[in-house]
Every structure is written in C-alpha cells, then in structure tokens.
C-alpha cells in the first residue's frame, strides 16, 4: 500500500511536472450557483436568510495538485471578481477563464480583495467595494425562545500581519478540481452553500440582542461570529467545482 502511494504520487508528479506541459489556448465560462434553500438549521436555531451575496475572484487554476500545493504556473485564470447571489439556484455567469491546455489540480482564489506583494494595503476590486466586503449575509435566526436579526459583512484578504502577502486567501486542491483543460472544456461551475458559511456562528452568544451587526473590527460579542465566517470561507464553505465539457 505504501509503495503504491509513493508510486501514485510519483506518477502524478511526473505527469504534471514533466509530461504535461500544456498546449494551445483555452477559454471557458466561469459560472456559479447558490446551492441551498434560504432557510436551514444551525444547531438549535432556524435561520432564514433574506440576502446573501459573495464576491468571488480572482481565481487561478494551477498545474500542481494536492494539499498545500504551490502554484508556480497558473494554467488558467479569471482576474476579475464578480458577485454571486448565494440564494439564487440559477446558474450565474461570472466571467471567462482563459489559459492554456493541460492539467489543473489546484485552485487559488480571493474573495474580491487581493493582496499585493510589497504593498501593505490589499487591492479591493469593484465587486467587493460594491458589496462592502467579501460577503454580505442578512437574515433572522429563530430559536424556541429567542430571535436575532443579523447582518454580517466580512472581508478576507492576506493581511500585512498575517502569514504572507502576495498570495490568495484560499489555496487548495481537491479531487473535483482535477481536470485536463482542452478545446472541449466548456465551463467551470461553482456551487456555493450559504448554510456552510454561517454554520459555525454561535447564535446562543448573540441571543438577547434584537439586531446584531457582525462586522469588522468585531466587538467581544461578535468576535466569534466574525471568526466563524472567516474560518468557513477558508474551509468548509469553499465552493464545490463542477466541470462541463462540450457534448
């Protein structure tokens, strides 16, 4: 088994690093869907969302693959950012990915705010400026004996005091992103789930307030909620990826 793992790893490495050097140019649609109902459970609370918008982009697809993969060369990219309506299950056009043929195994992306090397302040793309941050979610949380109306806005970017500047916020791989880009590649569909984004919020800690504004910098009362949103957007709530080919 262990030999097989090594062999598999080496096969993947050689296929990416040596054999697959890419080819002609490709262009395909980048699309998104909101993938959840606007009402769902979070622990003992029922959430009903009235608005949920997320800013997605830029996105880079890279030839490397696997956890903590680096991206020496982007195979395809979407250099803008677009607003996704998380409560709209219809397919939404975000823009066009352009790049070159070949294997992709890793995705890097931002939520509308881009860290730039050598600059302390990140670049806020128009979609994020329009939204007021990376994500805006509003709704009402209802439990058996309490109700909390909330509005949440958080901004994600690599901060000057963070791990490093000049790299996107999310850098990851998954089985579903692995794909060979070629002339038949039609679109990449991103499926978002607003329930995953708010799932970690401790609404018990917010109970007792009729209306809660979850913004940055947080108050001691909203710090857990802000952190939960930030962690989710870097972890459990990253979109699912679905490739579409020409029929």
Partner 1 sequence: MQVRLSACLCVIALCFASCSDESSGQNGSLEFVLEAESTVREGIAAGDAPDELQDGWNVSWQNYVLTVGHVEIVSATEPSLSFAAEDRFVVDLTKVPAAGKSLWRFDDVRAGRWNVFYEVGEPEDAALRDTSVNEVDFDRIVAEDLTYLIRGTLSSSEGQSCPPTSKAEPGDKVANGNVNARGDACYDRSALTIEVAVDAGALYGPCEVDEIAGAVVPSGGLQSASLTIHGDHMFFNGFPEGQEGGTTRRAQWFADADLNLDGTVEQTELEALSVSDMAAFDEGYQFGAAPEGALANLWTYLAAQLSTQGHFQGEGECPIDGVEHDH
Inter-residue contact 212 to 206 (CB < 8 Å): yes
Other Cβ atoms within 10 Å of 13 Cβ, number: 13
Does position 208 interact with partner 1 (CB under 8 A)? The reply is no
Give the phi and the psi of residue 26 in degrees, each rounded to 5. Answer: -130, 155
Does position 224 interact with partner 1 (CB under 8 A)? The reply is yes
CB of 186 to partner 1, least distance (A): 26
Does position 236 interact with partner 1 (CB under 8 A)? The reply is yes
Q: For residue 236, give the DSSP letter.
A: T
Does position 38 interact with partner 1 (CB under 8 A)? The reply is no
Tell which one of 130, 204, 209, 244 touches partner 1 (CB under 8 A).
Answer: 204
Q: How far is CA 232 from CA 17, 90, 107, 201, 237, in A?
A: 32, 23, 17, 10, 5
Q: Which CB sits closer to partner 1, 126 or 166?
A: 166
Tell which one of 23, 89, 208, 235 touches partner 1 (CB under 8 A).
Answer: 235
Does position 234 interact with partner 1 (CB under 8 A)? The reply is yes
Does position 7 interact with partner 1 (CB under 8 A)? The reply is yes
Mark the segment that binds partner 1 (CB under 8 A) among 37-45, 126-134, 181-189, 197-205.
Answer: 197-205
Mark the segment that binds partner 1 (CB under 8 A) among 43-51, 65-73, 82-90, 183-191.
Answer: 65-73
Q: What string of DSSP letters covers 59-95?
A: EEEES-BSTT---SSEEEEE-S-EEEETT--S-EEEE
Q: Which CB sits closer to partner 1, 28 or 56?
A: 56
Mark the segment that binds partner 1 (CB under 8 A) among 23-31, 81-89, 168-176, 206-214.
Answer: 168-176
C-alpha to C-alpha distance for 207 and 196, rounded to whole angstroms? 20
Q: Which CB sits closer to partner 1, 55 or 87?
A: 55
C-alpha to C-alpha distance for 165 and 173, rounded to whole angstroms? 20
Inter-residue contact 88 to 63 (CB < 8 Å): no
CB of 109 to partner 1, least distance (A): 9
CB of 49 to partner 1, least distance (A): 19
Q: Which CB sits closer to partner 1, 70 or 147?
A: 70
Question: What three-state secondary structure class fits 36?
Answer: coil
């Amino acid at each position: 088994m262990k030999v097989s793992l090594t062999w598999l790893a080496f096969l993947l490495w050689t296929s990416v690093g040596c054999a697959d050097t890419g080819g002609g140019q490709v262009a395909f649609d980048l699309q998104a869907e909101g993938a959840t109902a606007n009402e769902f459970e979070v622990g003992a609370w029922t959430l009903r969302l009235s608005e949920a918008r997320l800013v997605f982009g830029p996105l880079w697809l890279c030839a490397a693959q696997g956890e903590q993969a680096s991206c020496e060369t982007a195979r395809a990219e979407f250099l803008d950012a677009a607003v996704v309506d998380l409560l709209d299950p219809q397919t939404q056009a975000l823009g066009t990915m352009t790049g070159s043929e070949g294997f992709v195994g890793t995705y890097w992306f931002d939520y509308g705010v881009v860290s730039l090397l050598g600059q302390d302040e990140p670049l806020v793309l128009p979609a994020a400026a329009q939204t007021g941050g990376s994500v805006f979610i509003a709704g009402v949380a209802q439990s058996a004996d309490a109700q909390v109306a909330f509005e949440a806005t958080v901004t994600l970017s690599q901060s000057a005091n963070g791990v490093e500047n000049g790299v996107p916020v999310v850098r990851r791989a998954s089985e579903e992103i692995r794909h060979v880009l070629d002339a038949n590649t039609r679109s990449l569909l991103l499926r978002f789930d607003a329930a995953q984004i708010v799932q970690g919020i401790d609404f018990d800690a917010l109970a007792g307030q009729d209306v809660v504004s979850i913004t940055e910098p947080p108050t001691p009362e909203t710090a857990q909620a802000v952190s939960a949103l930030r962690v989710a957007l870097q972890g459990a709530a990253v979109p699912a990826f679905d490739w579409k080919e020409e029929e």
